[in-house]
Structure 1
Amino acid sequence: MLKLLFMMCFMIPLSFKKESFWKIQFLFFFMSFMFMFMGGYNFLWMNISYFMGSDLLSFGLILLSFWICSLMIMASNMIYNKDNYSKLFMFMMLILMIMLYCTFSSMNLFLFYIFFESSLIPTLILIMGWGYQPERLQAGIYLLFYTLFASLPMMIAIFYYYNSFNSLNFFFLNNFNEFNLYMYISMIFAFLVKMPMYMVHLWLPKAHVEAPVSGSMILAGILLKLGGYGLLRVMVLFMSLSKIWSSLFISVSMLGGFLVSLICLRQTDLKILIAYSSVAHMGMVLGGIMTMNSWGFCGSYVMMIAHGLCSSGLFCLANISYERLNSRSMFMNKGMINLMPSMTLWWFLLSSSNMAAPPSMNLLGEISLLNSLVSWTFMTMIFLMLLSFFSAVYTLYLYSYSQHGKLYSGKYSCFSGFLREYMLLFLHWVPLNLLIVKSGMFMLWI
């Protein structure tokens, strides 16, 4: 595991040369394949070196991080062309990737916490530095305070746990019946905000709207997954408490997912719609984790990987339209099939994946989550039906409104798309639909 960390550290001096922009993109791409062939295909800890290691749970998420980071650089061509501090941008990207890599490969709870928190700083700088509107300052403050407010109790909980057990290694985490409710809430609240759970989700649409395309991709693709990953790791501690309290969280996530789906139907901004759809999907993930059964755990993991690729691809598409028209409004983006016919195919493919059409991984995740939630209590059936139905409704609304309809008369013509953009969307869509063939990797980690 250290070899990849050192490789990234030695890429930092490379980031201070403008010509190295695409070189670093290629190296990230290369590293994702390198990591794939390292083979952490085991539910036990593999590739252990010092505090780092990977099992199947972290393996998929590290792979996703490398992949999305490579695609982020591909999407940020405008920063390179206009030289909008492209060297500093690459530096931030590398620091962020190092933090994410260390977060997912940490085998120690406290080190995990440190890297989990420090991944916030480069994200904040990405949003504040390369965002579009002046409101990005407010978005940055929302992001910072929501996350930090929730994280401090977690640190106290980790210290308390260490005091009781004298070890913070993930390998030795076990069910501890003496934990009280305060301990439970303070340990998982940071992850609930990061996911985000409905009611603590307000920072997400704000951050997405103000972030540049790279910020949106990393936020939707990986940073939301940190919350789910953390929950999957620490839930081992709270088996007995979760039996009592999980009903509350499942109710909130199901009802919240449904309400957010309704909010999606009222949006006119492409990015806000995609951001709210993330909240709805992650609500299902949270519900699956809280059922505490293997269907739920596996389904939530599959859903996290699938959502990371799908949501990131949709943000790319929104940005491609934004670069042409300088507007994210659906009223301006109407009838794009007339101007960019080839791009409509990609809109359709990624939208259909977003509403869990076969053969995408979203379908596999959603079926597993349906199974786990219905087996937990039959009453969730109602909300699951509504959730699945409305996810199709708002995705179709997004697709049909942006591609069909009368062309907005203020725009004349625009270039149909660069090869780079089609490549970018292809690399989002192909793993999303091919990984279902290797679904054992995602369903057997437990």
Structure 2
Amino acid sequence: MMMKFLLLIVFLIPLSFSKKSFWINQCMMFLITFMFVSQFSFSGDYLNLSYFWGVDLLSFVMILLSFWVCSLMVIASESLFKTGYYYNLFMFVLLVLLISLYCTFASMNLFVFYLFFEMSLIPTLVLIIGWGYQPERIQAGIYLLFYTLIASLPMMVAIFFYYKMSDSLDYYFFFYEVDLLMFYLCMSLVFFVKMPMYFVHLWLPKAHVEAPVSGSMILAGVMLKLGGYGLMRLMSVFIPISLKINFIYVSISLVGGVYVSLICVRQGDIKSLIAYSSVAHMGLVLGGIMTMNFFGLSGSLVMMVAHGLCSSGLFCLANISYERLGSRSFYLNKGLINLMPSMSLWWFLLSSSNMAAPPSLNLVGEIILINSLVSWSLWCMIFLSLISFFSAVYSLYLYSYSQHGKIFSASYSYFLGSVREYLLLFMHWFPLNLLILKGEYFVLW
């Protein structure tokens, strides 16, 4: 059952090399997305099994997010198609990335998960170095590569060690609990880097700022979720050691979330602000997972989906301004409400979702995570209140600085936005605010 979707994506690869097939490919990706939605089931068990592929609710949501964000990446990258800048190769890289993400989330075996988890790094690197638009993209790519590689090699050793202990790497047979600190660190470090946890987050702002819009979308939308997904899958193995040392990670993620929120408030670059806000939001997710309770896991899943759609949409908006003005600076992107009032609506809607205003899915995620963390320790209330307050501060700062004020640049294009751009933003915002009506889906597993 799962193989049919994999083969569908594989057979799109030859299509990506034919001339003028850019939009056909994109339509096919949407078709695959809607076919995949029809496989949804209420069951918390593994379904649609084929060899070592299968989905439970957690995998299903993540694969659906991957399909959706990758389909929207194609719409956002129309400028590549117009300029003819290696758009066939771009499509090929995107499909390879989608295959690796699909296999990562659909695999039921830890080693297969590790294999595709690492494989997804390469297409992302190619996207940043190939289609980024500043010389610093090489440095950003090296940061991304080495942060991930240095953390992932200990994980491979830990996987072999676990296989020796338990004789199986299938998630279904994860009954053997390990009470070893070194094993826990080796296995989890790569997920902390991917999330990214404060202290190992420096690759993220660099990668986002240098990446093209599609690279930023897939990084914010799906790649950061790989860390949370991996931790959720392996939590049952770490129960004894987690109960002893998880307070360290919760502390780092909450205090780091406050620091990062303060960093956001003094950013002069739109993309950099959105990238740092991702670190703050994923810090909450990490804190939720580390509390080891049911609310924590459910809230983290909701927050990951909400952040994937919201952050991706904000990067699209930043790119829409960048394409017209040629700058991402707050000092030049001013008074846009005078030039593109209908686009300001989308800036407002996505900024308000980013600060967890109702009716966005971010609100559900934050409420559940606050429940989880406060039940774990009352001290968390201090940092949670600061994170919530500052997320409103930097979201309003992002909106008001870019939309209000005196128009700074005379070179702005007075073209009011195409249907494609409004469709792109609508398809980020609509599921983000519609899914709140079906919140029960996220707590079934």
TM-score range (shorter-chain normalised) is over 0.9
Q: Is the CA contact 2:166–2:176 (under 8 Å) kept in the aligned structure 1?
A: no
For 1:12, what is the secondary structure of its paired residue?
A: helix
- Residue 318 of structure 1 corresponds to 318
Q: Deviations over 1:373-425 (max 9, x none)?
A: 00000001000000000000000000000000111043354211000000000
Q: Is residue 2:135 matched to residue 1:108?
A: no
**Any residues of structure 2 matched to 1:175-194 within 5 Å, and which?**
175-177=176-178, 179-194=179-194
User: Which letter does structure 1 place at the counterpart of 2:155?
Assistant: M
Measure how far apart 1:240 and its partner are: 1.1
Alpha-carbon distance in structure 2 between the residues aligned to 1:366 and 1:245 = 24
Q: Is the CA contact 1:40–1:54 (under 8 Å) kept in the aligned structure 2?
A: no
The change in CA–CA distance for 1:324 and 1:409 in structure 2 (over 3 A counts) is: closer
- Residue 228 of structure 2 corresponds to 228
Alpha-carbon distance in structure 2 between the residues aligned to 1:316 and 1:217 = 8
User: Which letter does structure 1 place at the counterpart of 2:144?
Assistant: L
Alpha-carbon distance in structure 2 between the residues aligned to 1:430 and 1:15 = 28
For 2:49, what is the secondary structure of its paired residue?
A: strand
Alpha-carbon RMSD across the aligned residues, in angstroms, is: 0.8
TM-score normalised by L of structure 2: 0.99
Q: Is the CA contact 1:175–1:239 (under 8 Å) kept in the aligned structure 2?
A: no
Q: Is residue 2:17 matched to residue 1:19?
A: no
Q: Is the CA contact 1:100–1:119 (under 8 Å) kept in the aligned structure 2?
A: yes
Q: Is the CA contact 1:249–1:290 (under 8 Å) kept in the aligned structure 2?
A: yes
Q: Is residue 2:322 matched to residue 1:334?
A: no
Measure how far apart 1:101 and its partner are: 0.2
- Residue 133 of structure 1 corresponds to 134
For 2:347, what is the secondary structure of its paired residue?
A: helix
Q: Deviations over 1:326-353 (max 9, x none)?
A: 0000111000001111100000000000
- Residue 347 of structure 2 corresponds to 347
Q: Is residue 2:304 matched to residue 1:294?
A: no
Measure how far apart 1:441 and its partner are: 1.1
4+ residue runs over 6 A deviation: none
Q: Is the CA contact 2:325–2:412 (under 8 Å) kept in the aligned structure 1?
A: no
For 2:128, what is the secondary structure of its paired residue?
A: helix
The change in CA–CA distance for 1:336 and 1:42 in structure 2 (over 3 A counts) is: same
Alpha-carbon distance in structure 2 between the residues aligned to 1:412 and 1:189 = 45
Unaligned ranges ≥5, structure 1:
none
Alpha-carbon distance in structure 2 between the residues aligned to 1:133 and 1:332 = 18
Q: Is residue 2:9 matched to residue 1:46?
A: no
The change in CA–CA distance for 1:51 and 1:404 in structure 2 (over 3 A counts) is: same
Unaligned ranges ≥5, structure 2:
none
User: Which letter does structure 1 place at the counterpart of 2:282?
Assistant: M
User: Which letter does structure 1 place at the counterpart of 2:420?
Assistant: R
User: Which letter does structure 1 place at the counterpart of 2:270?
Assistant: L
User: Which letter does structure 2 place at the counterpart of 1:236?
Assistant: S
- Residue 280 of structure 1 corresponds to 280
TM-score normalised by L of structure 1: 0.99
**Any residues of structure 2 matched to 1:374-389 within 5 Å, and which?**
374-389=374-389
- Residue 10 of structure 2 corresponds to 9
**Any residues of structure 2 matched to 1:390-405 within 5 Å, and which?**
390-405=390-405
- Residue 156 of structure 1 corresponds to 157
Q: Is the CA contact 1:299–1:368 (under 8 Å) kept in the aligned structure 2?
A: yes
Alpha-carbon distance in structure 1 between the residues aligned to 2:354 and 2:344 = 15
Alpha-carbon distance in structure 2 between the residues aligned to 1:96 and 1:184 = 28
- Residue 420 of structure 1 corresponds to 420
Measure how far apart 1:443 and its partner are: 1.4
